[in-house]
């Protein structure tokens, strides 16, 4: 049990929770699995439909992967760079994401996609909704590894007031239900070096991209 003496689950909004330190002690295993995935499907800076390269380098694992190009944003079962299926989602990743979802009250989470984002110093993620999935009934489970980040979590509109949350190595943020389509983003990553993940922040987000059969 990760939290034998205390409950580190923090309510952020309706159906949105921060699990402080949920992944602590798992860093070496996660890094080994992550390195294996990246060796098969290398990180890349995808282009937005308007032609801008994203500041975040990314790849995927699982049955489906999120891609962006001049055609738009979507999920694909094939890595456009390798023309091969995305690497299999490591069993460790899947189980940890299911455990985190359950701890946040979402039972039955069945992720079929894991988006892997690598933030270098200065990289950011603009305010957006996760709405390319076919199934909004299941939550988003987001792992934070390496350098810390300021995560802005808003509401159902871009203008809604936002909460600023510091995400540190080992934290997991879970949101779904009434907050599933809330806007969110990551501010510019500040300089630093993490003992396991170096000068980067890695963010792994688990989703159910396709409707359950």
Closest CA to 47 of 65, 71, 76: 71
Inside any domain, residue 211: no
Residue 212 lies in a domain: no
**Can you say which residues are annotated as belonging to the binding site for substrate?**
66, 73-75, 132, 158
Q: Residue 63: which residues within 8 A CB-CB, separation 6 or more?
A: 77, 86, 89, 112, 113, 210
Residue 184 lies in a domain: yes
CA distance 186 to 200: 14
Q: Which residues of the chain have pLDDT under 50?
A: 1-5
Q: Which domain holds residue 173?
A: 7-205
pLDDT score, position 213: 60
Which residues does the annotation place in the binding site for Fe cation? Answer: 128, 130, 184
C-beta of residue 12 within 8 angstroms of C-beta of residue 18: yes
Residue 210 lies in a domain: no
The phi, psi pair for 183, rounded to 5°, reads -70, 145
Question: Does any domain span residue 2?
Answer: no
Question: Does any domain span residue 1?
Answer: no
Residue 136 maps to which CATH number? 2.60.120.590
- What is the number of structural domains in the chain? 1
DSSP assignment letter at 20: T
Position 38 in a domain: yes
Binding-site entries: 66, 73-75, 117-119, 128, 130, 132, 158, 184, 201-207
Whole-number pLDDT of residue 166: 98
């Amino acid at each position: 049990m990760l939290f034998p003496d205390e409950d580190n689950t923090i309510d952020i909004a309706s159906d949105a929770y921060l699990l402080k330190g949920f992944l602590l002690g798992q860093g070496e295993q996660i890094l080994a699995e992550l390195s294996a995935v990246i060796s098969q499907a290398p990180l890349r800076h995808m282009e937005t439909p308007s032609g801008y390269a994203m500041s975040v380098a990314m790849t995927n694992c699982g049955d489906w992967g999120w891609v962006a190009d001049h055609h738009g944003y979507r999920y694909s079962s094939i890595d456009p760079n390798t023309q091969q299926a995305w690497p299999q989602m490591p069993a460790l990743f899947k189980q940890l994401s299911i455990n985190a979802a359950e701890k946040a009250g979402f039972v039955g989470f069945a992720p079929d996609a894991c988006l892997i984002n690598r933030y270098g110093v200065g990289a950011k993620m603009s305010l957006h909704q996760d709405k390319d999935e076919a199934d909004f009934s299941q939550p988003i489970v987001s792992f934070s590894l390496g350098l810390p980040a300021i995560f802005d979590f808003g509401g159902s509109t871009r203008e809604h007031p936002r909460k600023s949350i510091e995400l540190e190595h080992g934290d997991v943020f879970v949101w779904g239900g009434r907050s599933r389509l809330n806007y969110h983003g990551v501010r510019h990553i500040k300089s630093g070096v993490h003992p396991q993940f170096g000068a980067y922040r890695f963010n792994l987000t688990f989703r159910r991209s396709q409707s359950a059969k």
